Amino acid sequence: MAFSDYRTALVTGASSGIGAAVVERLCREGLEVHALARSAPALQVLADRTGCVAHAMDVTDLAGLTALAGATAFDIVVNNAGVDRPGSLLQADAEGIDLLVDVNLRAVLQLCRLTLPGMMARNRGHIVNISSIAGTYHFGGNTTYHATKAAIHMLSRQLRIDACGKQVRVTEICPGRVETEIFGHVHGDSAATRERFVEGFALPQASDIADAIAFALAAPQAVNVGMIEIMPTLQVPGGLTTLRADHDHGHV
């Protein structure tokens, strides 16, 4: 399918970072792009720059999502909105768990539920889910985040089964560390945060992720790009830790 086969797109978490880069990329392809995020001022700046249609809305607003999906037949849905609360489950609180499940998983499920049937009826569509290497690898901390992103990984595979027999494609994008504002949102926008996560590292840019999504969208009709894992060349996930039997498990 070429971009000309698609007419409309919805991008969540669109006010900055990867979401804004995807909006810009899809607008350049001539699509009618609807950008959804909480920040009305940031969306307005994006709309002025790209011509996208701004929707200042929380992605957990089910009534709002339902109305939006009912008003516009989306050929492309990019589920990009996400939040994080760092720490293991030992440091987690109920509010943080609910927030991550609501934004990272429940909103994605609901939006897929609202848009996939229309794509199948039109025999045309593409769902792009932004997960994370945290959904396929395990490393220290961020346990709830890992759990929600692992769910998106499996959801993306299940959606292929749900859409079987129709020209509806599903792509999962699994970024590693990317130079975006996410670190400031999670750890505080400070010089220390930038030094810890960004400065001195050779990192992919948000536009690199947008280009990968464009590659999947523009693939030939017979091709479904199921998953793309994008990491810095100098980032390697995984690892193995073995503790002695007398290790003191009482301390965190």
Among 69, 155, 75, 77, smallest CA distance to 121 is for 75
Catalytic residue among 145, 156, 169, 177: 145
Known catalytic membership, residue 145: yes
Query: What is the helix, strand, coil percentage profile of the chain, to 5?
Result: 45, 15, 40
Residues 81 and 216: their CA atoms lie apart, in Å, by: 19
- What is the DSSP-derived secondary structure letter of residue 127? E
The SS3 of residue 243 is coil
The SS3 of residue 137 is coil
The sign of the torsion formed by the CA atoms of 25, 27, 31, 32 equals positive
**What are the start-end ranges of the E strands in 4-85?**
8-12, 32-37, 53-56, 76-79
Among 20, 19, 24, 118, smallest CA distance to 74 is for 118
* Rg (alpha carbons) of the chain, rounded to whole number: 19
The SS3 of residue 101 is helix
Locate 55 and state its tokens. 């929707």
Q: Longest C-alpha distance within the chain, in Å?
A: 63
Residues marked active site are found at: 145
